[in-house]
Amino acid sequence: MNDELVNDGIINYSGNNNQDELQAELKECALRQCSQPQWHSETQLQQGHGAQIDDWFEHHAQTGMLSMADGVECAFAIVLCQTATPNSASCTALKKRQTLVISSGRVESYVKYKEVIFDLYHAGFDIFIMDHRGQGLSQRSSPNPMHGYIDDFQQYVDDLLCFVDEVVYQYCAQPLLLCHSMGSTIGALAILQRPQQFSKVVFSAPMFGLRVPLPIWLAHIVMKLGLLTSQLLGRPMYFIGQGDYAPVAFSQNRLMQSSLRYARFRESQQQYPETQLGGVTYQWIAAANIALARLHAQAVQLTLPVLCLSAQDDGVVDNQLQQTLVKQMPCAKWEVVADARHEILFEKDAIRNPALTTLVRFLQDK
């Protein structure tokens, strides 16, 4: 990747600016837009194509850090079929390309999304993705970098909207939005705050309700005691049963059924150890509950076109509360992805490919 930097005091990013390569890239984009998307396969991963995707991402992605209002630094990546100069007219001939912002889930980083970005880019989207504060390659919010910690989900929302204002808006005023899990809570709250900011949204296995491995009455008691103890100690504490990063064997994971994609996920956490994250704290759960209560109370105000992809065998989020919330949205379409676990976009091909086709058709449909 070329290291030419563009620095306006707020954003630093690096990317490919070679003009010959740019022209070749423009031709590639135009050709691929005229064809039906072909999703990357597990067979290709097995044949070593994962390394080629990594090389492609390294060559095409512009990466950097964005400073938030409170000084927290959040990592981001953009992959687009134009020069690195904002407001460029280099791709005016490629009017069919659309701008897509990705709001990822808890624990995730853009380095995990390389295959997804590769596929969506070649389906006709310019991609913008930012690691939420406290995870991925972004600055941590707790003295323990393993803590899944946040004071208030509004911080996540403000970060996402800052990313849109300072980075995305230079290329597109009203992008599309793709959200996964916790990123769906963040994305939905951002839409409520700015109803005209995004043109459409896809929620993939959205976190519109938490699964708690305790009876509700007991969970309330545990939360109160945990928050009180944490306050007395003056530091965040893991929720009961949570702890530092400890990779789960594929046979025991609840996220996906593709052993190849699961292996890539865990390998990326070894390659980028700073992306490793542990469980959630009492503070994170308290903040999530407040955010979800607000979301359920105001869901009817989320009036833009919505597609919700619900994982049938989701063991992470509460699908019943998810469906209850989505039914309140006036322009929402609900689709159950048969046999899917929580990570629909990283599932085995038989599940992932139809889901990708569905979401792309929804986003591209005028």
Residue-range domain boundaries for the chain: 5-364
Give the contacts of 261 (CB within 8 A, at least 6 positions apart).
Answer: 42, 45, 115, 343, 346, 347, 348
Q: In this predicted structure, what is the pLDDT of residue 261?
A: 99
CB 188 within 8 A of CB 179: yes
In angstroms, rounded to a whole number, what is the distance separating the alpha carbons of residues 10 and 315? 39
pTM summary value: 0.90
- What pLDDT score was predicted for residue 214? 85
From edge to edge, which strands make up the β-sheet containing 98-103? 5-7, 11-14, 62-67, 73-79, 125-130, 98-103, 176-180, 201-204, 306-311, 332-337
CA 207 – CA 185 distance, rounded (Å): 6
The tokens for 152 are: 């208030």
Q: Are 231 and 325 in contact (CB under 8 A)?
A: no
**Helix or strand or coil: residue 130?**
strand
5-364 has which CATH code?
Answer: 3.40.50.1820
Tell me the pairing of strands 73-79 and 306-311: unpaired
**pLDDT of the residue at 149:** 98
Size of the chain, expressed as the number of residues it contains: 366
Nearest CA-CA partner of 81 in 73, 70, 90, 72: 90
Tell me the sheet residues that pair with 67: 73
Ordered mean pLDDT values, 10 residues apiece, the chain (366 residues)? 32 46 54 67 96 96 98 98 50 68 99 98 97 98 96 99 98 98 99 98 98 88 96 96 97 98 98 98 98 98 99 98 98 98 99 98 93
- CA proximity to 240, closest of 256, 250, 249, 229: 229
pLDDT at 19: 52
Q: Quick one: residue 300, left, alpha or beta (phi over 0 = left, psi -120 to 50 = alpha)?
A: alpha
pLDDT number for residue 24: 56
| Beta bridge mates, 130 | 76
For residue 91, the model assigns a pLDDT of 45
- DSSP string covering 214-253: S-HHHHHHHHHHHHHHHHHHTS--BPTT--S--PPPGGG-
Rounded-to-integer distance, Cα 74 and Cα 78, Å:
13
